[in-house]
Structure 1
Amino acid sequence: MKLENIKLEISSGATLTLYLHDIMELREKARPIVLVTPGGAYRFCSEREAEPVAIAFYNAGYHAAVLRYSCMEDARNMQPMAEALESIRILREHAEKWHILADKIAVCGFSAGGHLAASTGTMWNEPALMKRLNYEGDILKPNALILGYPVITSGEFAHRESFYHISGSPEDDETSGFYSLEKRVTGETPPTFIWHTEDDPAVTVENALLFISALRKHQVPFECHIFNKGEHGLSLCNEEVNTPNPHCAHWFGLCIEWLDSIGLGLE
């Protein structure tokens, strides 16, 4: 494994860690990559949803990366979104050097990190972000989204703490509603894989259902798995991350199959 650690220039603290297959030791073909955005209510980045997930995708044959993004007050003004989109640009610009398939970049996020991952697919063409990052076109658009128990809505079923940290507003108002992603889905949103548990006590399943409904309305391909039992923050659902749940753990294998089915698997 080859590790790369990058400090993002647009942030005082965000970092991008890459887990790359060594091209000199293994097959010479380039590989897809999965960018992981861990959860933590935009208050912190959960390590259980960071490196263990990246290693799982690495072991499945993918390159992987983890973005540890800005949180708390530093998350205001779309800062995590800018960092995530800048990360996608870095991956594409270094695709040849790192042997990445530039048209096979998926973003995988959990909880608030699921909100951030979904933001890359719904806000990559947000005018303020385009101006800030000085880009045009779809160079920052991910090719797929993988969302685990994602925070989505600022409305009735909101995870209010996440929206407070990202927007500065404690209420369902115009400020927090700017980040309500079920309202931002368009036909340009990438194909999406979503999994959730029906009895999640922290981020209710309605978040996933609202996003699915918006995807269907705009004819965006998706796959969704709602498991019947499981606490919040399951990550890989195994002993390594201290959330053993053999049934929900099927999400990872299903996700790999889904990536293959939409043409984002290994070549």
Structure 2
Amino acid sequence: MKLETIKLENSNSATLTLYLHNITKELGDQARPAILVIPGGGYEFVSEREAEPVAIAFYNAGYQVGILRYSIKEEARNMQPMAEALTAIKLLRENAEEWLIAPDKIVTCGFSAGGHLAASCGTMWNEPALMEKLGYTDDRYKPNAMILCYPVISSGEFAHRGSFTAISGSHENDAVAEFFSLDKRVNGETPPTFLWHTEDDSVVPIENALLLIGALRKHKVSFECHIFNKGHHGLSMCNEEVNSPHPHAAHWFPLCVEWLGSIGFPAK
């Protein structure tokens, strides 16, 4: 394994940590899809339970992996985490040859507020203010697919209000917060999406996933969704390592790997 941490440009604290396979080209190995893991934390902290344990699982499944640790709290305003996530995608794509990544198979994988950030990459990459902030005019920053785990999505009735307050500064469901409501931003260019949630999540209501599904269906975007009947918020890998053992909901991971293969993103 090649392990490396890169400080992102135009950020005070954001980093990209890489977990890369040492592929031997002379033995016929090919570049692999990359998973960009984005932990949750309500934009108030970055959950380590949703960082390395997830990265190692995808690495062991055969993927190249990066973890984005992004700006939080006061530094999360002005779309700064979105700019950092898109910059991480650009880095993976621009260094694809060196890091042995398939540049057309870069996937964001986010949890809770990190799910919001992962979904922002696929729905806000062409937001004019972001394009101006980062200085691009094409789709080099856009992910090719998204994995969203109990994601924060809507600023409306079912919002995780703290997440929207952190990134928008607004404590209300107003136009400032709605700017970041991703069910309103889905269109025909949104990439294929895998979602999972638990029915009794009391922190981020399941309606967030349902609202996104409705938008994906409306715009004919390919998706797969799994809703498990039990499980508290923040299950991560659903095992003892992350102090959240839940054998049934743990099926999300093999189902996700199968889905990746079904859309043409197998690990090998």
TM-score range, shorter chain: over 0.9
Structure 2: distance between partners of 1:139 and 1:110: 23
Written as runs of structure 1 = structure 2, the 5 A alignment for 1:30-69 is 30-69=31-70
Query: Deviation string for 1:159-189 (max 9, x for gaps)?
Result: 0000110111011001111000000000000
**Deviation (angstroms), 1:68:** 0.2
SS, match of residue 249 in structure 1: helix
Structure 2: distance between partners of 1:67 and 1:138: 20
Aligned partner of 1:193: which letter? F
Written as runs of structure 1 = structure 2, the 5 A alignment for 1:1-16 is 1-16=1-16
Runs of 4+ in 1 over 4 A off after TM superposition: 24-27
Structure 1: distance between partners of 2:6 and 2:98: 15
Question: Is 2:61–2:267's contact at 8 Å kept on the other side of the alignment?
Answer: no
Aligned partner of 2:141: which letter? L
2:180 maps to 179
Structure 1: distance between partners of 2:147 and 2:111: 9
Structure 1: distance between partners of 2:28 and 2:266: 15
Structure 2: distance between partners of 1:266 and 1:114: 22
2:121 maps to 120
**For residues 27 and 237 of structure 1, do their structure 2 counterparts lie closer, same or farther at Cα, with a shift above 3 Å needed?**
farther
Structure 2: distance between partners of 1:120 and 1:27: 32
2:203 maps to 202
2:223 maps to 222
Structure 2: distance between partners of 1:181 and 1:242: 30
1:23 maps to 23
Structure 2: distance between partners of 1:140 and 1:232: 30
**For residues 176 and 266 of structure 1, do their structure 2 counterparts lie closer, same or farther at Cα, with a shift above 3 Å needed?**
same
Aligned partner of 2:118: which letter? A
**Deviation (angstroms), 1:266:** 2.7
**Deviation (angstroms), 1:136:** 1.5
**Deviation (angstroms), 1:24:** 4.2
Structure 1: distance between partners of 2:137 and 2:267: 29
Query: Paired residues, what number?
Result: 267
Structure 1: distance between partners of 2:69 and 2:120: 15
SS, match of residue 36 in structure 2: strand
Structure 2: distance between partners of 1:262 and 1:10: 34
Percent identity between matched residues is: 71
Q: TM-score, normalised by structure 1?
A: 0.98
1:169 maps to 170
SS, match of residue 4 in structure 2: strand
Structure 2 unpaired stretches of 5+: none
**Deviation (angstroms), 1:72:** 0.5
Structure 2: distance between partners of 1:197 and 1:135: 37
> Does structure 1 residue 100 correspond to structure 2 residue 83?
no
Query: Deviation string for 1:60-106 (max 9, x for gaps)?
Result: 00010000000001000100000000000000000001110000000
**Deviation (angstroms), 1:29:** 1.3
Aligned partner of 2:22: which letter? D
2:143 maps to 142
SS, match of residue 230 in structure 2: coil
* Aligned-residue RMSD, C-alpha: 1.0
